[in-house]
Amino acid sequence: MKVDSAGSPQFVKLSFVLIIFFAINLMWHGLQAREDTAKMVVPPNLVINVDHRSTVSLNGKWHVIIDPYENGYYDYRYLPSKNGYFKNAKARNKTELIEYDFDKSEALNVPGDWNSQQDKLFFYEGTIWYKKSFDYQRKPNTRVFVYFGAANYHAIVYLNGQKLGEHVGGFTPFNFEITKLVREPRPSQEGSPSAVSSGRTNRVSSIPTVHFDNEGRGEKDNFLIVKVDNKRLREGIPTVNTDWWNYGGLTRRVELIEVPETFIRDYFIQLKKGSLKTVAGWIQLDGKQSSQTITVEIPEANVKQTFNTNADGYVEFEFDAELQLWSPENPMLYDVLIKSQPDSLSDSIGFRSVETEGTKILLNGKPIFLRGICIHEQAPKSKARAYSKEHAETLLGWAKEMNCNFVRLAHYPHNEYMPRTADRLGVLVWSEIPVYWTILWENESTLKNALSQLTEMITRDKNRASVILWSVANETPVGDARNEFLKTLVERAKSLDPTRLITAAMEKSYEGRNKPVINDPFGQYVDVLGCNEYIGWYEGLPDRCDLYTWGTIYDKPVIISEFGGGALGGFHADKDTRWSEEYQEYLYEKQIKMLEKVPFMAGTSPWILTDFMSPRRPLPRIQDYWNRKGLISDKGKKKKAFYVMQRFYEKHKQNEQ
Ligand code: GCU
């Protein structure tokens, strides 16, 4: 059939078919690209369970160079320089020009954010270089990793001038193998007191004045240098706007981990989904002796099981066991021993099941009401970011005092002491990645970043019985690109951990003036719906609560994952005066009265346990860069509303008995 002119019916039909073809093609490729990105984020070579391994701490004083212009990284053409500060260069004679000197520079504490350590760094956002020198005596047939609990936000790590790698994301751990790069003590030093050997010794002395040989070796053989940059990025996770302080630095512990040549790098040991007696999981060895026979023992439960790893050092397993189930009332932790050749590793693991049934959350098969509170990683009574076991014990101790059995760790994975302390104290945990407010949903690197933070969070804490919920987002705007982005995160979380519940903190909308409704379309992809609401604070006055009757379009459990209002600790006035403890107290009373009537509510986690630092809160003499919605002030003093929640949860506790 001859086609004569552009207007002819054949031509129109042909171009129409072509357009359809291209459109489908584009969509398919778009989807393909998203899938590829999801596939590309391989689980990290993260070494888990550092607490039970042989380590040497590098915590303490680190020399630093504050480098707002990244002069230590870029040359004047803004190209990465080969002679950056990572070289730790020293003038070796009177003519040589070196314009920095770590060892004559000031020092900061690690772990620790830099903002609260020096006034001049309070608002500082940019690059700071950290340097730590150490000697290290490696035992034969071992490997060494340098491990960071977290560094906010973008870290580039060097050992002895060599780049080890980079990490993006301020709240999850990362490590690099340094076996081939770590320098052994120089012969003359052999046996000298300063050479550290592995085994939880901590003899990395604080800041000596050092002399250098021409290998850049000072008195210590090795120098570890980290460029940490906490600049906020639009394509970042989180993005440029957060209601928490953008603490920078090596905010969590730094350790040298020494392991055998073939070691137990990662494992997952929990109850199988839907079972109260079948333990299911996997173990990943790392090293040459990959296929071997390994055992899993739980002595207190008379369990001793043997399995064979495959050529990749991987084995999946299932076995039945008579176990006391972990719960807030009975936080039973078992010593679990994994033995391989030649590595063995123990961990304290609780076994519990968590599921949903309609609008109920079931713990060990029984409905449970989550008596919760939100917590930021704010060190108690301090302007600093929390990082230690003691911080965790104080914060979770306060939550227990409030009769909580649940905490929402907002809005990012907290340090590992939090879930481990929650395991011991019997506190259920919601853990979240900082996909917060309006990030760039269609940016592939943003998705990759979110996927890797999610993967690292789950990798680190998947053996913690206390952790029952993975949250993939907080207060994100409804939209197709957002839904697709978050769906990819849910799929990843489910593929990494089929045992826990997936959630997100969403926002409500209204059917008519007085009916808040939970109908966010993303709700269909999660197991539990989180809903943040500020009725009586951002939305009207506390009495407004009396007008409302809540609705939901889902037959799923709902956690009111945020509600509350601000109060300056110690400021007292009538209940209508904002910022007074009486206003906050009255608001909580009204909120509780409203929420008690919500039939599909499976828990609450008010905003928030303690006041916390936020650059969005400048109101003088009230906020002064503190978000004052804490039930406990920045001085550690409980506000009146604390006792309102304590009584409400006490009543719940009584009803459960
Ligand atoms: C939001 C948000 C929090 C914030 C809080 C507040 O809902 O999720 O991060 O701090 O409200 O405004 O205090």
User: Distance from the CA of 608 to the center of ligand 1, in angstroms?
Assistant: 9
Q: Which residue is it, tokens 């990959």?
A: 290
User: Is the pTM of the predicted complex or chain greater than 0.75?
Assistant: yes
Residue 194 clears pLDDT 70, i.e. is over it: no
Going by alpha carbons, the residue nearest to atom 9 of ligand 1 is 243
The C-alpha atoms of residue 634 and residue 613 are separated, in whole angstroms, by 9
User: Distance from the CA of 627 to the center of ligand 1, in angstroms?
Assistant: 9
User: Distance from the CA of 120 to the center of ligand 1, in angstroms?
Assistant: 27
| Band (14; pLDDT cuts 50, 70, 90) | confident
Q: Residues lining ligand 1, judged by CB closer than 6 Å?
A: 243, 411, 474-475, 532, 562, 607, 627, 629
Closest atom of ligand 1 to 627 CA is 13
Average per-residue pLDDT in the chain? 92
Pocket test for ligand 1, best of 373, 433, 562, 611 (most atoms within 8 A of CB): 562
Pairing of strands 314-320, 303-308: unpaired
Closest atom of ligand 1 to 436 CA is 8
Q: Which residue is it, tokens 């199988």?
A: 272
How buried is residue 210: exposed, middle or buried, by Cβ count under 10 Å (0-12/13-18/19+)?
middle
The C-alpha atoms of residue 369 and residue 596 are separated, in whole angstroms, by 12
Q: What is the pLDDT of residues 165-178, one digit of tens each?
A: 999 999 999 999 99
| Band (426; pLDDT cuts 50, 70, 90) | very high
The C-alpha atoms of residue 21 and residue 26 are separated, in whole angstroms, by 9
Instruction: Give the pair of three-digit tokens for residue 209.
Output: 């004045």
Q: Tell me which DSSP letter residue 188 carries.
A: G
**Among the ranges 19-28, 202-211, 373-382, which has the highest mean pLDDT value?**
373-382
How buried is residue 163: exposed, middle or buried, by Cβ count under 10 Å (0-12/13-18/19+)?
middle
Residue 22 clears pLDDT 80, i.e. is over it: no
User: Distance from the CA of 596 to the center of ligand 1, in angstroms?
Assistant: 22
Q: Tell me which DSSP letter residue 143 carries.
A: E
User: Distance from the CA of 105 to the center of ligand 1, in angstroms?
Assistant: 38
Rounded mean pLDDT, 152-158 = 98
Which residues of 90-221 form beta strands (DSSP E)?
A: 107-110, 127-134, 142-148, 154-159, 162-168, 174-177
User: Distance from the CA of 172 to the center of ligand 1, in angstroms?
Assistant: 22
| Band (202; pLDDT cuts 50, 70, 90) | very low
Query: What is the residue-wise DSSP string for 334-394?
Result: EEEEEE-SS-EEEEEE----EEEETTEEEETTEEE-EEEEEE-SBPTTSSSBP-SHHHHHH
Three-class DSSP labels, 542-583: HHHHHHCCCEECCCCCEEEEECCCCECCCCCCCCCCCECHHH
